[in-house]
Amino acid sequence: MRIGFIGLGHMGNPMVRNLLKHKHTLKVYDVVPDLVRKMVDQGGKAAESIADTAKDVDVVITMLPSSPHVRSVYMGPSGLIASAPPGTLLIDSSTIDPLTAREVEMDTRAKNCPMVDAPVSGGVGGAEAGTLTFMVGGEKADYEAARPILECMGKNIVHCGGPGNGQVAKICNNMMLAIEMIATSEGMTLAAKLGMDPKVFAGIVNTSSGRCWSSDTYNPYPGVLDGVPASRGYSGGFGSDLMLKDLTLVTDAAKSARHPVLLGAIAQQVYQKHSADGNGGKDFSSVILQYMTGSPPTRG
Amino acid sequence: MRIGFIGLGHMGNPMVRNLLKHKHTLKVYDVVPDLVRKMVDQGGKAAESIADTAKDVDVVITMLPSSPHVRSVYMGPSGLIASAPPGTLLIDSSTIDPLTAREVEMDTRAKNCPMVDAPVSGGVGGAEAGTLTFMVGGEKADYEAARPILECMGKNIVHCGGPGNGQVAKICNNMMLAIEMIATSEGMTLAAKLGMDPKVFAGIVNTSSGRCWSSDTYNPYPGVLDGVPASRGYSGGFGSDLMLKDLTLVTDAAKSARHPVLLGAIAQQVYQKHSADGNGGKDFSSVILQYMTGSPPTRG
Amino acid sequence: MRIGFIGLGHMGNPMVRNLLKHKHTLKVYDVVPDLVRKMVDQGGKAAESIADTAKDVDVVITMLPSSPHVRSVYMGPSGLIASAPPGTLLIDSSTIDPLTAREVEMDTRAKNCPMVDAPVSGGVGGAEAGTLTFMVGGEKADYEAARPILECMGKNIVHCGGPGNGQVAKICNNMMLAIEMIATSEGMTLAAKLGMDPKVFAGIVNTSSGRCWSSDTYNPYPGVLDGVPASRGYSGGFGSDLMLKDLTLVTDAAKSARHPVLLGAIAQQVYQKHSADGNGGKDFSSVILQYMTGSPPTRG
Amino acid sequence: MRIGFIGLGHMGNPMVRNLLKHKHTLKVYDVVPDLVRKMVDQGGKAAESIADTAKDVDVVITMLPSSPHVRSVYMGPSGLIASAPPGTLLIDSSTIDPLTAREVEMDTRAKNCPMVDAPVSGGVGGAEAGTLTFMVGGEKADYEAARPILECMGKNIVHCGGPGNGQVAKICNNMMLAIEMIATSEGMTLAAKLGMDPKVFAGIVNTSSGRCWSSDTYNPYPGVLDGVPASRGYSGGFGSDLMLKDLTLVTDAAKSARHPVLLGAIAQQVYQKHSADGNGGKDFSSVILQYMTGSPPTRG
């Protein structure tokens, strides 16, 4: 298949490489020429503009940092909607707010270009290994059309319902994740402060009603699990600033919908403080450091 | 074995019946004569007082509603510590604050009575089925001594470390549980408000990083899972007021330890409001009702 | 002076009338023709477009509902910046986010049009009585130029520093106000629940360290003060949805600045819930209803 | 008058000295002999026990650190209730929870000893200057009987209603104070971060609807007001740990009453974190340090 790809950063780069491995023909574009050059070295063809990326291809995939970027790449005067021939399948893998996703999709549909929103989870590691999860929002037929392409880059390709629902699934899941990570941080540090061995406590929680992914798979307490960021100084993983971005998206979406998300808003604040304290680059499980205060534990 | 049992309420009653089934000899006591009579009908022998309960037995088990009750039953002038012969094994299955548990244990040890704290999870259903989980704090040897008896009433008998750690495990787990239940309520209702099918959203979360016991085993959104309180009007299960009690215990313990538990304290407040709104008797997953406001969802 | 005025809603209408009373010449514009007609009846002259409003006047004042409106009225292809002759003084009295205010001001400056942001407090009542407070951000000289005009509509014309600082003052003040209103609601209802007469409690707080404008001037507890919304069913005053708008602005501004505002974010959530419960049209002191639960007070 | 006084610490010492200045006869007691000796040097007479303090006096005043102390001094086997002759007026100036205050008062009344709870505000400075505020709960007649004595130590002697209401007024006021101090901290630091001069912002807030005692009399931002702790490194004043104690009391009282106090509980957590970070000894306005993060302000 002939695929255009816009956005060649940390995620876009390995995603393109996986598409090339599957023998697809790639036209690539980014505002940073260096990023384009790297992809050309791997076998992609340089596009000269957004409009050019959409010429003579069957599909265009975008991987962009935020809603305004998506809006401008799709809806700008020389953007995809203005340039892509009717019938071109558009796939946006950026994580953005669902309302923007739905607006863009309505415009693409008016131009007879089918579109799906397909944000990912799995991070740079998943992008490189080709094991990303894609949460796809859009018409069933468009989801089916996108699936074989997405399967070149990911392992789970989940249909979440109509347009925008990929974004809804992504940001609502991540809101729960952030809250649960903080809950786990509070539970682990309090148990330790009250005199309990953190590993023993984790063992009990993980077979009980308090268990969650943050406690059994990604525990933030150093030394409880092997091979997680907590056991290597919170390097690697999913950065606190990325989590902060998703929390900002989800609380903004809740504001638009006038829906209360008390713990979500507090999680956003906790990560905002954590970032302001200089921890934005550390894995998001490092939020437990906010709870590791000086005083020694009581006996146990 | 000869066992004394104090506290014959909703939990104590089926626990005693399970001990009787295992051919133990039971002496039973409660301040409410009716509760004693019921147990005598089942084959227990009525004790005349706390002190009498501790006479001619190998073990005394207590199942009481709160710290002041435990304090008075153990430390009162005619309490267990004053009455039990040295060597009597004391097992407290009440859920109380860990500091009181440790104080009581120090006093019993001074009298050469080994003691373990062994709060349970599993509720009345688990008590009747003999499938409770016991979280046991105490010396390893005392845990081993208590285990065969606890196995008559439960399925998982977990050693949590030294005295008081059974309580620590119980209340820290339940703090995490309450926060995660609210997180799930916020995530599920926001996803629905933003136009997503709740079942589809739950399916995605439960194979993703937002998964937790509250989302995959006890989902609070009506109709997502069968056989949970959410699918029968929040009847049965673990009452909101019981969760409120545990949250009050854990935030008090955190205050004593001067340890911050921001989300824990907010969860306590959310359940306090939920209870003040008249929902104390409903299952604790009914907290989702706090997030089910009038306005209809946006499209999806 | 010759003044152009854009935005003739609940606030703009009485502001224009006060300018007319002071013998200024007014050219008025709004997207709703009816609103323009009303002002023409009062002696204003109808402008035909945004561009036309800026022709042959010394000053243009704008009073618009939100940032996107301001952006479009000023920066649109036929907007004020494109149309106003160099030297025209531009005054924006809308409440918007400070970052947008600063962006717009930079663009106007590049066109040699001095600009100040001048959001107001005092509501429709203050607009009609000509007693608004204007919080003005901009160069000192521009503030001095705007002052005589603003004095036709308001009583306090406060210079808050450079461009955008009028907005900063407004939204940070209102964030404090919202938190203090909730604090007062919690204090008043808890004191009452614990058995104290609300009037007596208010009297003590108001001569003590807990006093604030929400307790001594705008008390939310019914019957404590005369002539406030709380004593007439929360009608009139400053609507909860308007407070919610300001809280959304301020928490968004804090997000952009990566500054933690924990209580501010929670206040935003409390008002979001209050609005979702159907109270958006009631005065913002009605938030106390969130704390008036069924159970009767204990003795006192 | 003949007065017994129990509790001779930082507050009790200067209170006794002021009573001596007014020519009252004092019998003094404390568990720390040194504290007694100091008072004897000033003209007091040493009592030998709690019971002895209540002998041959008209009034007994107590100034104790917490509820359990009050409970034991009054209700212990050789406590005041057991020892004081009928008709002795009992005044408790400790800050404790209202429920304990009411329990104690019921017991004293049963012994025909009138009692008032009379917690103070004003700190050690106010105690030394004799300018304390007393918030008095109790029967009107008992309040009138206590007033002349309290006027030797304070300036404002306020009747708050029936027994326990002095405590209610004190802790509910202090809850509002803590929330407002944090609100002021968030508002001041955000305004500064968004580029505004803190003094200018404080000036605007203090003549506007965001004003409160924490902003206009005790501003936490360094350099905004003279003579407050913020302008001398947060030394002196009212310690964060004392505020934490009052917040713990008030949130516990709210728990007993099943009344939600969301911001109160969060304020308790914020001070708990502040204390755990090592700031317990600093004035409570130092909580603003939690909001002073590294990144520099944006322009303004």
- pLDDT for A251-260, tens place per residue? 999 998 989 9
Per-range mean pLDDT, top range of B203-207, C164-168, D275-279: C164-168
Mean pLDDT, chain A, whole residue set: 95
Of A118, A138, A162, the domain-final residue: A162
> Which residues in chain C touch residue B274, judged by CB atoms under 8 angstroms apart?
none
| Helices (H) then strands (E): counts for chain C | 13, 9
D259 and B272 in contact by Cβ < 8 A?
yes
Q: For residue B298, name the pLDDT band (cuts at 50, 70, 90).
A: very low
Query: Residue D300's pLDDT is what?
Result: 40
B195 and A295 in contact by Cβ < 8 A?
no
| CB atoms inside a 10 Å sphere around CB C112 | 11
Residue B174, domain CATH: 1.10.1040.10
Of A122, A138, A162, the domain-final residue: A162
Question: Are C161 and C13 within 8 A, CB to CB?
Answer: no
Query: Residue D125's pLDDT is what?
Result: 87
For residues A31 and A108, membership in a common domain is answered with yes
Q: Would you give the distance in Å from CA D222 to the centre of its chain?
A: 25
For residue A120, report the phi and psi dihedrals to the nearest 5 degrees. -115, 160
Mean pLDDT score, B252-260: 92
Domain membership of residue A216 (yes or no) is: yes
- How many CB pairs below 8 A link A and B? 244
Mean pLDDT, chain D, whole residue set: 95
CA distance A253 to A249: 6
> Which residues in chain B touch residue C186, judged by CB atoms under 8 angstroms apart?
none
Q: Inform me whether the pLDDT recorded for B91 exceeds 70.
A: yes
Q: DSSP letters of D216-279?
A: HTS--STTSSTTSGGGGTT-SSSBHHHHHHHHHHHHHHHHHTT---HHHHHHHHHHHHHIIIII
- Chains with 3 or more CB pairs under 8 A to chain A: B, C, D
Closest residue in B to A175 (Cα–Cα):
B187
Q: Which residues contact C239 (CB under 8 A, 6 or more apart)?
A: C280, C281, C282, C283, C284
Give me the count of residues in chain C.
300
C209 and D213 in contact by Cβ < 8 A?
yes
Identify which of D277, D294, D295 has the shortest CB distance to residue A293.
D277
Nearest to D171 by CA among D257, D280, D46: D257
Query: Residue B156's pLDDT is what?
Result: 93
Q: Inform me whether the pLDDT recorded for A294 exceeds 70.
A: no
Residue type, D11: M
Question: Are A117 and A136 within 8 A, CB to CB?
Answer: yes
Q: Inform me whether the pLDDT recorded for C242 exceeds 60.
A: yes
Digit-coded pLDDT (tens) for D215-256: 999 999 999 999 999 999 999 889 999 999 999 999 999 998
Digit-coded pLDDT (tens) for B95-121: 999 999 999 999 999 999 999 999 999
For residues C175 and C149, membership in a common domain is answered with no
For residues C175 and C277, membership in a common domain is answered with yes
CA distance C174 to C196: 29
Query: Residue A123's pLDDT is what?
Result: 85
Domain membership of residue A106 (yes or no) is: yes
Query: Residue A299's pLDDT is what?
Result: 41
For residues D178 and D150, membership in a common domain is answered with no
* C124 near A CB under 8 A: no
Mean pLDDT score, B210-229: 97
Provide the shortest C-alpha distance from residue B89 to chain A (in Å).
20
Q: Inform me whether the pLDDT recorded for B266 exceeds 90.
A: yes
- Chains with 3 or more CB pairs under 8 A to chain B: A, C, D
Query: Residue D122's pLDDT is what?
Result: 86
Query: Residue C287's pLDDT is what?
Result: 98
Closest residue in A to B101 (Cα–Cα):
A300
Q: Residue A61 to residues A65, A113, A120, D237: CA-CA distances in angstroms?
A: 14, 13, 13, 62
Nearest to B251 by CA among B265, B241, B237: B265
For residues C9 and C147, membership in a common domain is answered with yes
Identify which of A276, A294, A295 has the shortest CB distance to residue D295.
A276
CA distance B17 to B7: 13
Q: For residue C298, name the pLDDT band (cuts at 50, 70, 90).
A: very low
pLDDT over 70, % of chain A: 98
* A254 near C CB under 8 A: yes
Query: Residue A300's pLDDT is what?
Result: 39
> Which residues in chain D touch residue C195, judged by CB atoms under 8 angstroms apart?
98, 161-162, 164-165, 168
CA distance B79 to A291: 40
Closest residue in D to C238 (Cα–Cα):
D209
Closest residue in C to A260 (Cα–Cα):
C273
Q: To the nearest 10°, the Cα dihedral for C183, C188, C191, C194? A: -100
For residues D174 and D154, membership in a common domain is answered with no
Per-range mean pLDDT, top range of A121-125, B142-146, D205-209: B142-146
* A269 near C CB under 8 A: yes
Query: Residue B297's pLDDT is what?
Result: 47
Q: Which of C160, C184, C208, C255 to probe by mutation at the D interface, max D CB count within 10 Å?
A: C208
Provide the shortest C-alpha distance from residue B264 to chain D (in Å).
10
Bridge-based pairing state of the strands C2-6 and B120-121: unpaired
Of the residues A23, A140, A170, A273, only one is catalytic, namely A170
Of A140, A162, A184, the domain-final residue: A162
Domain membership of residue B254 (yes or no) is: yes
Residue A98, domain CATH: 3.40.50.720
Q: Which residues contact B298 (CB under 8 A, 6 or more apart)?
A: A257, B193, B194, B195
Q: For residue D299, name the pLDDT band (cuts at 50, 70, 90).
A: very low
- Apex CA A117: angle with CA A116 and CA A122, to 5°? 130
For residues B77 and B177, membership in a common domain is answered with no
Question: Are B230 and B224 within 8 A, CB to CB?
Answer: yes
For residues B136 and B256, membership in a common domain is answered with no
For residues D152 and D275, membership in a common domain is answered with no
| CB atoms inside a 10 Å sphere around CB A22 | 14
* D294 near A CB under 8 A: yes
Mean pLDDT score, D137-158: 97
Helix intervals (H) in D48-164: 50-53, 67-75, 80-83, 98-110, 123-129, 140-150
User: In chain B, what is the straight-line distance between the N-terminal and C-terminal CA atoms, in Å?
Assistant: 63
Mean pLDDT score, B201-206: 96
Domain membership of residue D298 (yes or no) is: no
Q: To the nearest 10°, the Cα dihedral for C9, C13, C19, C22? A: -170
CA distance A111 to A60: 15
Count the domains in chain C: 2
Question: Are D179 and C183 within 8 A, CB to CB?
Answer: yes
Burial class (CB in 10 A: 0-12, 13-18, 19+), D193: buried
Question: Are A226 and A217 within 8 A, CB to CB?
Answer: no
* B269 near D CB under 8 A: yes
Q: Which residues contact C276 (CB under 8 A, 6 or more apart)?
A: A258, A259, A260, B293, B294, B295
Query: Residue C154's pLDDT is what?
Result: 96
Q: Inform me whether the pLDDT recorded for D69 exceeds 60.
A: yes
Digit-coded pLDDT (tens) for A157-211: 999 999 999 999 999 999 999 999 999 999 999 999 999 999 999 999 999 999 9
Domain membership of residue C300 (yes or no) is: no
CA distance C293 to B274: 10
> Which residues in chain D touch residue C229, judged by CB atoms under 8 angstroms apart?
none
- How many CB pairs below 8 A link A and C? 46
Helix B240-256 to helix B262-274 angle (10° resolution) is 150
Nearest to C242 by CA among C174, C289, C179, C184: C174
Closest residue in D to A269 (Cα–Cα):
D291
* B296 near C CB under 8 A: no
In the numeric block, which tokens belong to residue C76?
């649109």
D180 and C266 in contact by Cβ < 8 A?
no
Q: For residue D297, name the pLDDT band (cuts at 50, 70, 90).
A: very low
Domain membership of residue A300 (yes or no) is: no
For residues D149 and D219, membership in a common domain is answered with no
Domain membership of residue D138 (yes or no) is: yes
Digit-coded pLDDT (tens) for C249-264: 999 999 989 899 999 9
Digit-coded pLDDT (tens) for D9-56: 999 999 999 999 999 999 999 999 999 999 999 999 999 999 999 999
Q: Which of A186, A190, A295, A298 to probe by mutation at the D interface, max D CB count within 10 Å?
A: A295
Nearest to C16 by CA among C69, C59, C51: C59
Domain membership of residue C30 (yes or no) is: yes
Query: Residue B296's pLDDT is what?
Result: 47
For residues B130 and B199, membership in a common domain is answered with no
Digit-coded pLDDT (tens) for A29-83: 999 999 999 999 999 999 999 999 999 999 999 999 999 999 999 999 999 999 9
CA distance C177 to C215: 11
Q: Inform me whether the pLDDT recorded for C295 exceeds 70.
A: no
C262 and A266 in contact by Cβ < 8 A?
yes
Query: Residue A124's pLDDT is what?
Result: 87
Range of the domain at B243: 168-291
Provide the shortest C-alpha distance from residue C278 to chain A (in Å).
11
Query: Residue D182's pLDDT is what?
Result: 98
3-state DSSP assignment of residue D24: coil
CA distance D261 to C187: 8
Nearest to A248 by CA among A167, A182, A171, A135: A171
For residues C178 and C278, membership in a common domain is answered with yes
Q: Inform me whether the pLDDT recorded for C297 exceeds 50.
A: no
> Which residues in chain D touch residue A273, judged by CB atoms under 8 angstroms apart?
293
B294 and C273 in contact by Cβ < 8 A?
no
* B227 near C CB under 8 A: no
> Which residues in chain A touch residue B215, judged by CB atoms under 8 angstroms apart?
176
DSSP C239: B
